[in-house]
Every structure is written in C-alpha cells, then in structure tokens.
Amino acid sequence: MPPIKKLVLWLLVIFVLYAIFTSPTNAAALVGNAWDILGNGVKNIAAFFDALLKR
C-alpha cells in the first residue's frame, strides 16, 4: 500500500475514534441512519428485480 493511502487510512481511523469518544450518541445515530439507508437500498433493489421477473 502506498504511504499516502496508509496515512489517509490512519487519519480516517483516528477521526472515527475521536468522533465516537467525544460524541457517542451522535455517532450511534449516524451509524443507525447509515444502516437504514443500506436496508432501504437493498429492499428497493429486491423490489426492482421482483417486478422485473414478474413480467
């Protein structure tokens, strides 16, 4: 892995840990929202293929 990518990855990990430790409620809400978005996306994709196969 190039040094720049490794540095960016470490900075991202440090930022995420900082966000969790300083504001765990907001971090939990953010994760919950992301989970809801992913769940809705999977449901919509499943509905699309279901409608496509019913033709």
Q: In the structure, what pLDDT confidence band is assigned to residue 1 with cuts at 50, 70 and 90? A: low
The single-letter DSSP state of residue 2 is -
**What is the C-alpha to C-alpha distance for residues 6 and 20, in angstroms, rounded to an integer?**
21
Write out pLDDT tens, residues 6-15.
999 999 999 9
* pTM of the predicted protein model: 0.60
* Cβ atoms 31, 23 nearer than 8 A: no
The domain tally of the chain equals 1
Domain range enclosing 15: 3-53
* Cβ atoms 9, 2 nearer than 8 A: no
Tokens 């809400």 sit on residue: 29
* Cβ atoms 23, 15 nearer than 8 A: no
